[in-house]
Structure 1
Amino acid sequence: MSTSYYIRPMEERDISQAIDIDNEAFPTQWPRPTYSPYKSELKNRLARYIVLTKPRDRSDQLEQQRSITRDEQSWFSRLFNLKPRHSYTLPPSSTEFVIGIAGIWLMVDEAHITTIGLRNDFRGQGLGELLLIATIELAQRLNANVITLEVRVSNSIAQSLYRKYRFQEVGRRLRYYSDNGEDALIMTTTSIKSPQFISYFQQLQNEHRRKCQNLY
């Protein structure tokens, strides 16, 4: 039986787990993440945060309670609380385990990815790519034209994933990371509104769904 994964807007109840993910995914970052900045970000009208969650130990029971299949409801419906074709109930908050977070700032027509991270135990399963897909969908939903982010020059794995989704290196921020003075690459997409990007993005989504059927 496949595991149920959910992507939804981040809520204040998720902050403590989001901090855990920050500490795990970015162990050398400074200053360390704290509760208050996250709470402020959730109130910021220019910021949007999403979480990737899974049920805790009651996954089998919750799977039986679901009234539709994952294929019957798009990520858009789950992410933006749109009414699905059938009733659909997320796991109770007490049983949810947050395994990934992502955040963007919307500045005019640019969506800037401020964070995207996953718990270490869930890496290498296609979940990081799933989180990136949801983040791109969120930017499209917010009518952004391009998406920009910073990535460590040493993080070749992340850079490879971003390039796959048409992020291109456009600059460098010298000594951007305060923990070790490492430079950051600035990567930006082509227009995510263009027919070419939309078609290519759909192909990548379909490819990911085929490769990682257990996530959907």
Structure 2
Amino acid sequence: MSTSEPERDLPVVITPLRLDDLDEVMKIERASFPLPWPASAYRHELTRNPHGYYLALRPRLSLQRHARLPPLLGYGGFWLFLDEAHICTIAIHPDYRRRGLGEWLLLHLMELAREVGADVATLEVREGNLAAQRLYRRTGFRQVGVRHRYYSDSGEDALIMTTPSLTSPEMRRLLAARRQAVAERLRAWDEELARMQPR
């Protein structure tokens, strides 16, 4: 998974998710989902699932120190089935949403999926989660079906969404454009954080 030179000045970094992230993962997990995965599920995913790929979104170390940011801002992962990457989870710390962090993480998951051999990405999303649906549509996902009463806590339907081929010229252009746009948002946030730091 590559990071271009102009992106090295961003306030966040993407790294593999680690076992020692689990305490922070569970804080975000419980704040994000009505049916959170237990820590044991993540431990299994990180140590025993050869088809699972998980990324962490972290603040740049200097920002973590000076802006008092948490060590983990978000995480996400997918399962690789043949040529399909099924995005099984993605979450951002509730205090840092609506800054482009979720899209940045999703874009890196999609890039990693392509690098490990996926041709398409798929996911399920709650029918009522309109913000997530907008995010997914911006990055090329389209609804292809419905799983009725999929969520056991509410009986809510899940929309099944998928992308065109991740290797197609159209998707490559779309994802490159989104990556550039989100990088600009993150730079603006970096400037905002810099103004807040004590002198």
Q: TM-score, normalised by structure 1?
A: 0.77
1:3/1:59 contact within 8 Å kept:
no
2:120/2:164 contact within 8 Å kept:
yes
1:100/1:116 contact within 8 Å kept:
yes
Any stretches of 5+ residues in structure 1 without a counterpart?
61-94
Please give the alpha-carbon distance, in whole angstroms, between the structure 2 residues aligned to 1:215 and 1:104: 27
Please give the alpha-carbon distance, in whole angstroms, between the structure 2 residues aligned to 1:135 and 1:125: 18
Q: What SS does the corresponding residue of 1:212 show, helix, strand or coil?
A: helix
Structure 1 residue ranges (4+ consecutive) displaced by more than 3 angstroms after TM superposition: none
Say whether residues 1:116 and 2:120 are aligned partners.
Answer: no
Q: What SS does the corresponding residue of 2:149 show, helix, strand or coil?
A: coil
Counting aligned pairs with the same residue, the percent is 39
Q: TM-score, normalised by structure 2?
A: 0.83
Say whether residues 1:178 and 2:178 are aligned partners.
Answer: no
Please give the alpha-carbon distance, in whole angstroms, between the structure 2 residues aligned to 1:50 and 1:165: 18
Residue 24 of structure 1, CA deviation: 0.7
Any stretches of 5+ residues in structure 2 without a counterpart?
1-8, 191-199
Indicate the residue corresponding to 1:40 in structure 2.
44
The residue type equivalent to 1:17 in the other structure is E
Aligned pairs, how many?
178
1:4/1:59 contact within 8 Å kept:
no
Alpha-carbon distance change, 195 to 3 in structure 1, aligned in 2, over 3 angstroms: closer
Say whether residues 1:21 and 2:25 are aligned partners.
Answer: no
Residue 133 of structure 1, CA deviation: 1.1
Alpha-carbon distance change, 106 to 215 in structure 1, aligned in 2, over 3 angstroms: farther
Residue 210 of structure 1, CA deviation: 2.6
**Counterpart mapping for 1:22-171 below 5 A:** 22-26=29-33, 28-29=34-35, 32-43=36-47, 44-54=49-59, 55=61, 57-59=64-66, 97-171=71-145
Residue 9 of structure 1, CA deviation: 0.4
2:11/2:187 contact within 8 Å kept:
no
1:201 to 166, 175, 196: 175
The residue type equivalent to 2:146 in the other structure is R
